[in-house]
C-alpha cells in the first residue's frame, strides 16, 4: 500500500500581488528637451473607476497634454496596474524499479491552477489610441 500511496511530494508557488505602479506619459516631447517623453498634466478628476475593464483600466479624463515648452505636473507612478493571484502546483513520486539502480518519476504540474487572467500593464501613453487599455 505504501508503494502506491506513500512518499508523494507536493510543491506549490503562490503569487499574490497588488498592481505595479506605472508612469503616465505624453508619448511625445512637448517640453522640447532631450529627455524624451514628458508627463502630462493632471486635470483634477480622479483616475480611479468603479467598473474597470481591459478596454478602460483608469479614467483617461484625469490626464491632459501640458502646454508646449512646459513640464507636466503628474507625479511618478500615478497609475496602478492590475493585481494578480496565481497558484502553481506540482506533485511527484519517485518509483524504484525492481532489480535496477534506476528511478521512474511520476510528475504532475499545473500552472495558474485557478485560471486567473494574467493582465499586462495598461497603456499610459496619452498620445496612443490605446491610452487606458490593457494590452
- The 10s digit of each residue's pLDDT in 26-46 is 988 888 887 767 899 999 999
Q: CA-to-CA distance for 108 and 27, rounded, in angstroms?
A: 46
Average pLDDT, the chain: 89
Q: CA-to-CA distance for 62 and 38, rounded, in angstroms?
A: 16
Q: Is the pTM of this model over 0.95?
A: no
48 near 57, Cβ under 8 Å? no
More confident residue, 93 or 101: 93
Task: Average the pLDDT over 7-16 and give the result.
Answer: 93
Q: Is the per-residue pLDDT at 3 higher than 70?
A: no
- The 10s digit of each residue's pLDDT in 55-88 is 999 999 999 999 988 888 999 999 999 999 999 9
Amino acid at each position: 500500500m505504501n508503494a502506491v500511496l506513500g512518499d508523494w511530494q507536493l510543491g506549490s508557488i503562490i503569487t499574490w500581488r497588488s498592481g505595479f505602479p506605472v508612469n503616465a506619459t505624453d508619448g511625445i516631447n512637448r517640453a522640447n528637451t532631450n529627455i524624451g517623453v514628458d508627463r502630462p498634466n493632471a486635470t483634477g478628476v480622479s483616475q480611479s473607476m468603479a467598473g474597470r475593464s481591459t478596454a478602460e483600466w483608469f479614467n483617461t479624463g484625469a490626464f491632459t497634454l501640458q502646454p508646449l515648452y512646459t513640464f507636466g505636473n503628474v507625479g511618478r507612478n500615478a497609475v496602478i496596474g492590475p493585481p494578480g493571484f496565481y497558484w502553481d502546483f506540482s506533485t511527484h513520486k519517485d518509483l524504484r524499479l525492481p532489480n535496477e539502480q534506476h528511478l521512474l518519476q511520476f510528475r504532475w504540474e499545473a500552472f495558474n491552477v485557478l485560471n486567473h487572467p494574467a493582465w499586462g500593464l495598461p497603456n499610459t501613453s496619452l498620445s496612443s489610441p490605446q491610452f487606458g487599455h490593457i494590452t
